[in-house]
A = this chain, B = another copy of it.
Amino acid sequence: MARRPKLSNVIAEDLLRWIARERLHPGDRLPNEKTLMEHYQCAKGTVREALRTLEVQGLVKMQTGPNGGAVIQPVPIGAVTQQLRTFLHFEELSFEQVYELRHSLEVTLALSVAGHLDGAQLARLEANIEECAEAMARDDRPGVRRAELAFHDILCDSCPNPLLTFMCRFINGLLRDLVEYRSQRLEEHHAFGRSNMESHLKLVAAFRDGDSAAVGRLMADHIHEAETFMSRLDAAFRSKDMLGR
């Protein structure tokens, strides 16, 4: 046992360390394939498999043409999200389980950003609330839900904790997808939208006042209400769609 490691994997790991050591920024370029072939004394196909690894991980993007090659990408949050999703695709995940997490995470997020919100961010939050109101006026229910989730994404922008940010964004993305597939005929939609707007308004006010205690309490209540509504939405969907999932 203990097989010889694949050469392309060795090269991929070496390139990864090199990127980290050189502190490469998005937009910077890796050496082209020919140079790498000479450096590692290996064939084209092997270099390509190594670059392929980095590309799948979202760290680089290949470009053809002059000055082409592997270009460093901005933080590959998309690729990571995608992989975590395909992982969860093999597990079974329910609405309640998502909210079991969201409950504490969004409160932690709110407390974390409470000190870091500047005027511009507060303005964005208020503009988002306005956007919700317009979508409600058009009776564009999926649009309302998307905009409401965007409110929480805006909070993520001001969060200094990258791990917390990632997890909250990931959960928002999950909910965004789940909500698209659910029935949009429920009577409660309007009441839910008004309740959300009220919560968001109160939250912005608490952020402005720098009242952390109020922020935590408001967010906890807000998520709790959202869970109640979402589970009803889910139940309605399941009873209509006999697949059960």
Contact = CB atoms under 8 A, between A and B. Distances in A.
Interface stretch (A103-111, A128-136, A224-232): A103-111
Contacts of A75: 87, 90-91
A49 B160 CA distance: 37
Interface stretch (A52-60, A141-149, A183-191, A192-200): A52-60
A61 B164 CA distance: 32
A48 interface: yes
Q: State the number of copies, please.
A: 2
Interface string A85-120: 011111111000110110111011000100000000
B80 A59 contact: no
A101 B164 contact: yes
A32 interface: no
A244 to B, nearest CB: 15
A48 B8 CA distance: 12
A77 interface: yes
B89 A161 contact: no
Contacts of A57: 56, 83, 86
A210 interface: no
A93 B49 contact: no
A76 interface: yes
